[in-house]
Structure formats: C-alpha cells, structure tokens
C-alpha cells in the first residue's frame, strides 16, 4: 500500500496549487527514475508526489526566433527523435544517447536530470556549454537563471522549494559554432559517468577559436563550468599544443575524487585524454557548418 498520495494534475496552475497546499512534503515527480530509486533506498521521504507527466506546458521543443525552448517534461527519447535537437544540438544528442537504457530514456526527463542536480548528470555539461537558462515558475510568477549558476551543491539548486522547472531556453547555435560531449563510464550503457566533458567552440574566419565554452561532470561536487579552460581556448590556434594547455587548465579547475567508479588519478588522466578528443569533434562540427 502506498504511504503517500499520488496526485495527477492536468495543468500547470493545478500543479502549482497542489504544491502550495502540500508544502515541502509534496514533491514533484516527472519520470520517477530518480525519485523512486531514492524512495526505495529510504533516502527520500514525502507525503505526496505531484506528477508532471500530463502537463502540456512542460512538453515540446520549439524555436522561438533565436531561442530554442526545451520543455522540462520532454523525455530523453523524445529529445532524440526531435529534428530541431538532432540538427542543431548534436552536443546534447551526444549526451542523451548514452544515458541509461531505452526503457529509462522513455521515462526520464531532461528537467528531472537537471533538478536531480548530481555532479554526473549527463545533460548538464552540454546545457552549460549551450548557455542554457532555467525557466522556473511558481505561484509568484516566472524567473530565469543561467544554468552555470544553478547548482549550489550536491543535489542542491538555486530553485526555491515552491518552484517548478518549466523549460530550458538556449540561444540557437550560429553556423560557425560546434559542440560535442563525451562521457566515460565503466561500461557502454547503464552507468553513471566517471568523467563527462563538453565543449562548444566558435570558429573565426581564419579558422581560429574566437569563443569557447567548456564544462565537466563527475569531477567536482557539482557540474562545473571550466572558465580557465575556456580562456585558454579562446583566441588560440587549433592544434596539439593548445589542447595540452587546455587540458592543464581543466586539471587545475576540476576536483576529481576517489570512489567506487574510479580513482582520482584515473579521472585526471582521462581528462587529459578526452579533452583533446571532444575539442576536435566540436571543431569538426563547427567547420562542417561554416
Ligand atoms: C537505470 C537508471 C539509469 C540511469 N542512467 C543515468 C545516466 O546514464 N545518466 C544520468 O545523468 N542519469 C542517469 N540516471 C538517473 C536519472 O534517471 C536521470 O537523472 C533522469 O534524467 C531523471 O529524470 P526523471 O524525469 O526520471 O526525474 P524524477 O525522478 O521524476 O525527478 C528527479 C528530481 O527532480 C525533481 N523534478 C523533476 N522534474 C521537475 C521539474 N520539472 N521541476 C522541478 N522539479 C522536478 C523531482 O522532484 C526529483 O527531485 C539513471 C537512473 C536509472 C534508474
């Protein structure tokens, strides 16, 4: 027998009303692939779950002028089928297609991945590189927060307790921008990242890098934007020397640890190996579009 209420609102207003009535003991649930694992492990307690699955306001991916808006309730499988995502956001596809397994991707949402706020959350490094903003909504109205300022600690975000993640908004990548993401796990499927790296680069007319975004997962208490790595790449001439300098910067600004998945030493070695690879793929994609 369930020891909590399961509420199924059919509109955003109804969901926010239920949350206001239930307070901190009422929790939103989207795909439930994180919530139910934690509940069964006794690490999460609540008196009510408010399901977001029937809310049309959280669905769909659309272009609005120069912005792409991804509904927080989009499942990972929906994202992979979405032409706009496949054509314009290969960096996000790289991340999503290696997450979990088909059954999990059919349930899990991008909003749930962001709101879980774990350091190894696979969609987060690409969203940081895409300059995504989190659109939060509560009974008080909407506000937007840059995703690189959203994670305040392990499983902690800057969202208020009464706020729901409505969507992620990002500027449409320009044709001379390209991005890529690489996840290293202990096996090819159904594993959390040992290291996760994402890079988004903009090429100038002379082939140099004029703008860079870089982010890493599973090598710090939260997903990290790599500001120093970006500074090294920006204005640099593509080539092995620049990749090595970028990897040195990434090592300075990440804090890998030892755990059951990998040692600190291995994670640092893998940053050195993977960063040049992900940069080269991002550059190829930028070139292909120029
Ligand atoms: C078998 C398995 C494999 C997995 N593999 C991976 C993997 O490869 N990579 C990875 O990153 N993760 C993985 N996960 C973890 C998890 O599935 C993902 O983080 C997933 O994206 C969570 O989405 P969800 O919709 O199921 O979230 P839920 O479990 O529904 O919710 C997660 C958290 O977010 C909150 N929440 C959800 N949606 C909203 C919203 N719109 N607004 C406010 N709060 C919200 C919930 O209250 C809860 O705190 C895996 C989990 C399982 C069980």
Distance 238 CA to ligand 1 centre (A): 37
Q: Are 51 and 83 in contact (CB under 8 A)?
A: no
Find out whether the beta carbon of 26 lies less than 6 Å from any atom of ligand 1.
no
Q: Are 225 and 128 in contact (CB under 8 A)?
A: yes
Q: What is the CATH number of the domain that holds 223?
A: 3.30.390.50
Domain co-membership, 187 together with 280: yes
Domain co-membership, 166 together with 226: no
- pLDDT digits (tens), the chain, 290 positions: 568 999 999 999 999 999 999 999 999 999 999 999 999 999 999 999 999 999 999 999 999 999 999 999 999 999 999 999 999 999 999 999 999 999 999 999 999 999 999 999 999 999 999 999 999 999 999 999 999 999 999 999 999 999 999 999 999 999 999 999 999 877 666 677 789 999 999 999 888 999 999 999 999 999 999 999 999 999 999 999 999 999 999 999 999 888 888 899 999 999 999 999 999 999 999 976 55
Q: How many domains does the chain have?
A: 3
Q: State the pLDDT at residue 289.
A: 56
Distance 204 CA to ligand 1 centre (A): 38
Which domain range does residue 47 map to? 5-51
Distance 288 CA to ligand 1 centre (A): 34
Distance 241 CA to ligand 1 centre (A): 39
Distances (CA, A) of 58 to 2, 11, 53, 112, 249: 26, 10, 8, 12, 38
Q: State the pLDDT at residue 192.
A: 77
Q: State the pLDDT at residue 1.
A: 55
Domain co-membership, 132 together with 215: no
Q: Which of 119, 151, 171 is the last residue of a domain?
A: 171
Q: Which of 114, 136, 171 is the last residue of a domain?
A: 171
Find out whether the beta carbon of 37 lies less than 6 Å from any atom of ligand 1.
yes
Q: What is the CATH number of the domain that holds 24?
A: 3.30.43.10
Q: Which of 171, 200, 223 is the last residue of a domain?
A: 171
Find out whether the beta carbon of 115 lies less than 6 Å from any atom of ligand 1.
yes
Nearest CA to ligand 1 atom 50: 100
Distances (CA, A) of 126 to 8, 41, 68, 200: 31, 29, 14, 8
Return d(Cα 173, Cα 267) in angstroms, integer.
30
């Amino acid at each position: 027998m369930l020891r909590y209420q399961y509420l199924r609102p059919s509109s955003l207003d109804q969901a926010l009303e239920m949350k206001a009535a239930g307070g901190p003991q009422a929790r939103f649930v989207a795909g439930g692939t994180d919530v139910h694992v934690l509940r069964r492990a006794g690490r999460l307690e609540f008196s009510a779950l408010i399901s977001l699955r029937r809310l049309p306001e959280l669905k769909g991916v659309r272009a609005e002028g120069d912005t792409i808006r991804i509904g927080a309730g989009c499942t990972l499988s929906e994202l992979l089928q979405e032409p706009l995502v496949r054509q314009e956001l290969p960096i996000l596809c790289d991340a999503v297609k290696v997450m979990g397994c088909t059954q999990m991707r059919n349930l899990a949402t991008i909003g749930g991945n962001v709101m879980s706020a774990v350091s190894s959350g696979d969609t987060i490094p690409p969203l940081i590189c895409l300059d995504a903003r989190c659109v939060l909504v509560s009974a008080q109205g909407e506000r937007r927060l840059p995703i690189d300022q959203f994670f305040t600690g392990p499983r902690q975000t800057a969202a208020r307790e009464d706020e729901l993640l409505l969507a992620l908004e990002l500027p449409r990548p320009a044709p001379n921008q390209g991005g890529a993401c690489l996840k290293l796990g202990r096996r090819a499927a159904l594993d959390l990242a040992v290291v996760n790296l994402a890079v988004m680069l903009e090429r100038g007319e002379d082939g140099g890098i004029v703008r860079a975004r870089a982010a890493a997962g599973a090598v710090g208490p939260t997903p990290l934007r790599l500001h120093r790595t970006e500074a090294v790449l920006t204005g640099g001439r593509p080539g092995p020397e620049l990749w090595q300098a970028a990897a040195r910067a990434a090592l300075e600004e990440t804090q890998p640890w030892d755990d059951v998945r990998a040692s600190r030493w291995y994670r640092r070695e893998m940053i050195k190996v993977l960063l040049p690879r992900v940069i080269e793929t991002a550059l190829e994609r930028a070139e292909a579009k120029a």
